[in-house]
Amino acid sequence: MVRLRLREEKFLHEYLEKIFNTSVINRLFALKNEAGSKSSLYTYMKGYHFPLSTTVGREIYELCNETLKDIGYSEREIEFYISNDPTMNAYSIYSFNEKEPHYIVLHGRLLEALENDELKFVIGHEVGHIIFKHALFDRVVQYVYPRFDELPSHIRGIYDLWKKLGEISADRVGLIASKKLDASLTSMFTLSSGLDEEYLKFDVKDYIELVDKIIIELSEDSEHIFHTHPINPVRVKALKYFYESETWKSISRGQPPVDDPEFEENLEKIIRLLKKYPTDPIDIASLDFLAVAGWMLMMADKEASEEEYNYLINILSQYLYWPFDYLDKLFEDDPEETLKRSSEFIVKNYPRRARHLFVDLIPIITRDRKLIDREVDILLKIGVENLKIPLHEAVDMLLSGIRNLYAPFH
């Protein structure tokens, strides 16, 4: 099942877990649960949702367990519940107490709208989230940063992308459960639209053609980045590519998954739509300017601190989802020419942006809790010569930044 997982989603998951030291925090949560009493979640599920069993809701219960068998799931027990919520939805709850089962909740409205194969896709998708342990990391992030907008910009962008790719990974498990692309896409359509297919005279072929058109439009638009789930057209296209791949064909024959380079290449093209890249000329110029100027300031004392480097990554992440590769290639060209070209464009076309960019650079010289003359001189030179900010104004902004940010003994 691990081979089914989207490779980039797994990579980002491991990257984020390393940053947050997830294993340490989850171990502490586990120690907290060792008391052995039933959690409030267990009580809530029993008290507020309708449990499926061999005696109550037997047909749906058997379908749920048949889905688990088709997927090959054999880990901790999963209990299934029905909610009277009128929306078209389903969700999984990963139980952090190892003495309790996991839970999957199906809204009653969904059961009325979906055929069995379609429902299997939905159940399989939720089981996928449990298999890949997405909630284990979600819990850590939400504990350390209760509010999404409090996340550092780099982590916020990577976390958002990982969440979207996690949905695509779970879709693959859903496809294994339903075994049918049409049924899988129909269930995705029903969940996203909130309507039974009969109301819109839904046809899978027409839907795929519509998705192809939308994908083209999205490729020309960057205003689709921050949402909980991937844009539905991207999910649909990703699942269709997977269904047509040699990887899926080997799985459907009961054989181990095989690699399919053409499939991976096509998949990367549409996943790119979920990634943040600068498209506007001013954003491209700002990225180039901050990267070179920031690097010059960071290396002024010949040794970049971790705090300085992390800050630079964060400000570059406002424009680019993965700045590391960009920084690696930055000096393949002449950095001074890049600084000159980008700053001239900014001053000529967006002069007000110049002061904001200058302020963005100030924390780099204060992050290591040291003030060095060479760093100050370089920053003032960049402000005056490149950004055309009058010296007295640049000094005032720098002093204000130092007053707010500088902590020499903290």
Tokens, residue 249: 């064909």
- H or E stretch covering 150: none
What DSSP letter does each residue of 104-142 carry, written as one string? EEEEHHHHHH--HHHHHHHHHHHHHHHHTTHHHHHHHHH
Are 298 and 309 in contact by the 8 Å Cβ rule? The answer is: yes
Q: What is the pLDDT along the chain (410 residues), one digit of tens a residue?
A: 667 899 999 999 999 999 999 999 999 988 887 765 566 777 788 778 899 999 989 999 999 999 999 999 999 999 999 998 888 999 999 998 888 899 999 999 899 889 999 999 999 999 999 999 999 999 999 999 999 889 999 999 999 999 999 999 999 999 999 999 999 999 998 888 777 666 666 788 888 888 888 888 777 665 544 444 457 899 999 999 999 999 999 988 888 889 999 999 999 999 998 898 898 999 999 999 999 999 999 998 888 888 999 999 999 999 999 999 999 888 888 899 999 999 999 999 999 999 999 999 999 999 888 888 999 999 999 999 999 999 999 999 999 999 999 888 76
Spell out the SS3 assignment of 153-191: HHHHHHHHHHHHHHHHHHHHHHHHHHCCHHHHHHHHHHH
Nearest-10 crossing angle of helices 281-298, 335-349: 130
pTM confidence score: 0.90
Look at the chain and count its residues: 410
Alpha carbon 10 to its chain's center: 11
Task: Quote the CA–CA distance of 169 and 124 in Å, as a whole number.
Answer: 11
Task: Quote the CA–CA distance of 67 and 119 in Å, as a whole number.
Answer: 9
The single residue listed with the structure tokens 């960071």 is 298
Which value, in Å, is the radius of gyration of the alpha carbons in the chain? 26
Task: Quote the CA–CA distance of 394 and 400 in Å, as a whole number.
Answer: 10
What DSSP letter does each residue of 225-267 carry, written as one string? ---SSPPHHHHHHHHHHHHHSHHHHHHHTTS-----HHHHHHH
The DSSP secondary-structure symbol of 384 reads I
N- to C-terminal Cα separation, the chain? 48
The single residue listed with the structure tokens 């910009």 is 153
Q: Which domains does the chain have, with CATH numbers?
A: 2-274 (no CATH), 281-405 (1.10.3680.10)
Query: What was the pLDDT predicted at 33?
Result: 75
Q: Which long-range contacts (CB under 8 A, 24 or more apart) does 25-32 make?
A: 25/140, 25/143, 25/144, 26/136, 26/139, 26/140, 29/96, 29/139, 30/96, 30/98
Task: Quote the CA–CA distance of 12 and 347 in Å, as a whole number.
Answer: 37
Are 278 and 322 in contact by the 8 Å Cβ rule? The answer is: no
